[in-house]
């Protein structure tokens, strides 16, 4: 398909901007220590670290293991791996041990039996990690901004509060990209986070600290937020499970930064974990009073679902081609589904997906129903007083800026936005929405690449920023999607696929995730490779 004039202009501008960024970055940025090359994460030795949260809670209720033992095991693991990963930015180990001791005392005194505890406190005594963008009372709440250093959350965000109420014990908060708006978790307040499978690779963003500590077995369950792939990219790059919930079900209140304009329609909070069986109970807890919207207790028969595979975005000139190994692993998923379930997986293509990034970018900038536009990114960077991106770029070149190149670049790109949205892009989105909604209905499942390639090396997203389109488009479509790990590439890096469904059909993708975990092995210990 030939490029339109608009696409040709976009490609030219993008390549020119990225070329400038590339040159500036490699000339002026500090080099990472060569000593990191070749280092590996220590393997998991404690058997408590390779048990799902669901099973840990069961063992704790049955007094087969104490909560204090479990929490100590995770403290030891975090202390072992965090010097390599820089994922946990602030721990609360002393408080966690005190809470674990109280859990063990509660279990000793409980007279109603295990069933009563399971019903009231399904995650009793289980460690939890929390993305620092969510308010966790008494913990830093900075969004990676130097100007917010010292800001501490005074309350819990609703999903955190619900998980705590279910008995989970927060261990600490994890790193994010600056203002949670980039695909690499790096900021000038907490530094850069590494991928547990290769320290020279990114863990993704913005929930990259969560993805890294979970992938490195320093956590078993965690919480992330997603407005363009911020749950799914870290889960993909770190070989774990994650779920972007249908929007409007799990609260994103007391999340910083908060969504503005129409962005709250596209932002979701959801569970991140190493074991697929933890996804559904976590989501049920996090959804709170809105859990009924998802009918999570309704049984799913995979053999009665309709399956579709979308191998790529149709060849957008703005994104990298999907790698052969990711095309191949998605094909293997199709083969397993057909062989094991006796279903026919239909390959489908949507020409509108070529405009995925333009659609996401356009809709993220739309005003809300009252006509109020979203807050400018430059204003968020300046905490209410907009920064001047060109001045920040000059300061960055002198090593004086408080902001990352990624944030400065986003502010620069923001300046080029046209006020009036493109009618053509709006039309493409509406057509794609209609086609997918009709295709999926209430029993359709689709497979779609998570990203064009496995985890890139540090800072490489600066030069291929539009690759996030593979996850971002699904936010605008409002569909639930589960990120599923599918083993390791030849380089030893996690592979995976997005499993999506129609709106409010979250339970379907969670069931497929359980099946694929059994078929492909799920999470792999990065220290054992």
Rounded to whole angstroms, the Cα distance separating 400 from 393 reads 9
Tokens of 350: 């949507």
Using DSSP, state whether 218 is helix, strand or coil.
coil
Using DSSP, state whether 497 is helix, strand or coil.
strand
Q: Is 230 a catalytic residue?
A: yes
Taking the CB of residue 218, how many other CB atoms lie within 10 A of it?
A: 30
Residue of 466, 462, 468, 464 whose CA lies nearest to 25:
462
Q: How many alpha carbons lie under 13 Å from residue 391 in its C-beta half-sphere?
A: 5
Whether omega for the bond prior to residue 257 falls within 30 degrees of 0, making it cis, is yes
Q: What's the full length of the chain, in residues?
A: 529
Q: Is 131 a catalytic residue?
A: yes
Pairing of strands 186-187, 127-131: unpaired
Which residues have a Cβ under 8 Å from the Cβ of 407 and sit 6 or more positions away?
178, 179, 181, 182, 377, 381
Rounded to whole angstroms, the Cα distance separating 394 from 407 reads 14
Rounded to whole angstroms, the Cα distance separating 205 from 217 reads 18
Tokens of 456: 């890139």
Angle, helices 389-397/5-28, rounded to nearest 10 degrees: 30
Using DSSP, state whether 388 is helix, strand or coil.
coil
Rounded to whole angstroms, the Cα distance separating 127 from 95 reads 12
Per-position b or e across 57-78, b if 16+ CB within 10 A of its CB: bbbbbeeebbbbbbbbbbbebb
Residue of 476, 227, 501 whose CA lies nearest to 359:
476
Helices (H) and strands (E) in the chain, counts: 17, 13
First to last CA, the chain: 42
Residue 499's φ and ψ, nearest 5 degrees, are -115, 110
In degrees, rounded to 5, the angle at the alpha carbon of residue 127 between the alpha carbons of residues 126 and 128 is 120
Marked catalytic residue, from 177, 206, 316, 378: 206
Marked catalytic residue, from 131, 164, 244, 284: 131
Marked catalytic residue, from 230, 251, 356, 378: 230
Pairing of strands 268-273, 241-244: antiparallel
Rounded to whole angstroms, the Cα distance separating 96 from 125 reads 9
Which residues have a Cβ under 8 Å from the Cβ of 416 and sit 6 or more positions away?
13
Please provide the DSSP assignment of 293-325 as one string: GGTTTS---GGGSEEEE--SSS--TTSPPPPHH
**Residue 274 Rama label (left phi>0; alpha psi -120 to 50; beta):** alpha
**Residue 105 Rama label (left phi>0; alpha psi -120 to 50; beta):** alpha
Catalytic site positions? 131, 206, 230
């Amino acid at each position: 398909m030939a490029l339109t004039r608009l696409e040709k202009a976009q490609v030219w501008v993008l390549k020119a901007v990225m070329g400038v960024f590339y040159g500036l970055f490699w000339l002026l940025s500090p080099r990472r220590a060569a000593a990191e090359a070749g280092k590996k994460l220590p393997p998991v030795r404690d058997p408590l670290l390779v048990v799902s949260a669901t099973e840990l809670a069961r063992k704790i209720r049955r007094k087969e293991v104490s909560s204090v033992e479990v929490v100590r095991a995770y403290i030891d693991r975090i202390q072992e791996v965090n010097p390599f990963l820089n994922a946990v930015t602030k721990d609360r180990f002393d408080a966690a041990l005190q809470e674990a001791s109280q859990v063990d005392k509660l279990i000793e005194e409980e007279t109603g039996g295990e069933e009563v505890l399971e019903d009231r406190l399904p995650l009793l005594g289980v460690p939890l990690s929390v993305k620092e963008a969510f308010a966790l009372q008494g913990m830093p709440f900075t969004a990676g901004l130097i100007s917010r250093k010292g800001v501490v959350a005074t309350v819990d965000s609703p999903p955190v509060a619900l998980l705590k109420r279910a008995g989970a014990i927060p261990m600490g908060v994890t790193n994010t990209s600056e203002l949670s708006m980039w695909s690499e978790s790096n900021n000038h307040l907490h530094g850069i986070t590494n991928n547990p499978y290769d320290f020279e690779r990114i863990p993704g963003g913005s929930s990259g600290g969560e993805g890294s500590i979970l992938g490195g077995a320093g956590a078993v369950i965690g919480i992330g937020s997603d407005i363009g792939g911020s749950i799914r990219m870290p889960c993909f790059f770190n070989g774990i499970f994650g779920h972007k919930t249908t929007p409007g079900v799990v609260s994103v209140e007391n999340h910083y930064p908060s969504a503005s304009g129409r962005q709250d329609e596209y932002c979701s909070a959801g569970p991140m974990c190493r074991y697929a069986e933890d996804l559904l109970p976590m989501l049920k807890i996090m959804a709170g009073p809105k859990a009924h919207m998802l009918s999570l207790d309704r049984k799913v028969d995979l053999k009665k679902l309709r399956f579709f595979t979308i191998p790529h975005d149709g060849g957008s000139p703005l994104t990298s081609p999907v790698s052969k190994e990711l095309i191949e692993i998605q094909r293997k998923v199709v083969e397993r589904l057909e062989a094991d379930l006796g279903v026919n997986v239909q390959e489908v293509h949507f020409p509108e997906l070529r405009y995925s990034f333009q659609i996401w970018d356009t809709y993220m900038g739309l005003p809300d129903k009252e006509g109020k536009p979203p807050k400018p990114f430059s204003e968020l960077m300046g905490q209410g007083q907009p920064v001047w991106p060109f001045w920040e770029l000059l300061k960055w070149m002198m090593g004086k800026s408080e902001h990352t190149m990624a944030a400065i670049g986003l502010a620069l790109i923001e300046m080029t936005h046209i006020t009036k949205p493109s009618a053509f892009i709006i039309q493409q989105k509406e057509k794609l929405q209609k086609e997918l909604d009709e295709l999926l209905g209430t029993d359709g499942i689709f497979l779609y690449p998570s990203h064009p390639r496995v985890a890139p090396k540090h800072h490489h997203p600066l030069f291929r920023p539009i690759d996030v389109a593979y996850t971002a488009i699904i936010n605008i479509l409002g569909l639930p999607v589960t990120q599923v790990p599918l083993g390791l590439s030849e380089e030893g890096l996690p592979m995976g696929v997005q499993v999506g469904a129609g709106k409010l059909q979250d339970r379907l993708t969670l069931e497929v995730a359980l099946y694929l975990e059994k078929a492909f092995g799920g999470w792999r210990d990065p220290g054992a490779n």
